[in-house]
Amino acid sequence: MTKAEIVNEIVTNTGLEKETVLAVVEATMENIKTNMAKGENVYLRGFGTFLLKKRAEKIGRNITRNTSIKIPAHMIPAFKPCKEFTSEIKSKVKFK
């Protein structure tokens, strides 16, 4: 599902104007990115948590040059769904 499809579905379900819904979705995503860039986690009750995870320093390989490179420790964004979210997915989505 794309952002445009999400916006269209919200418009259909709520009857709000498309421009308003798009602005809210954009602002929500921007707010999440801004707060995570500041080093803060974002908690959405009943949905999940956008959190920062630390990746340890490690040695990587450049196989084309046959050399080792040092990859420094860094933070990456991650998402952890809440229990209700996870259980709903498990009960409704089946393997194909």
Contact 57, 70 (CB under 8 A): yes
Chain centre to alpha carbon of residue 90: 19
In this structure, the strands spanning 58-62 and 67-71 are antiparallel
Contact 86, 49 (CB under 8 A): no
Alpha carbons 43 and 19: distance in angstroms, whole number:
26
pTM above 0.75, yes or no: yes
pLDDT digits (tens, 9 = 90+) for 18-38: 999 999 999 999 999 999 999
pLDDT digits (tens, 9 = 90+) for 44-62: 999 999 999 999 999 999 8
How would DSSP label each residue in 51-93? EEEEEPPEEEEETTTTEEEEE--EEEEEEEE-HHHHHHHHHH-
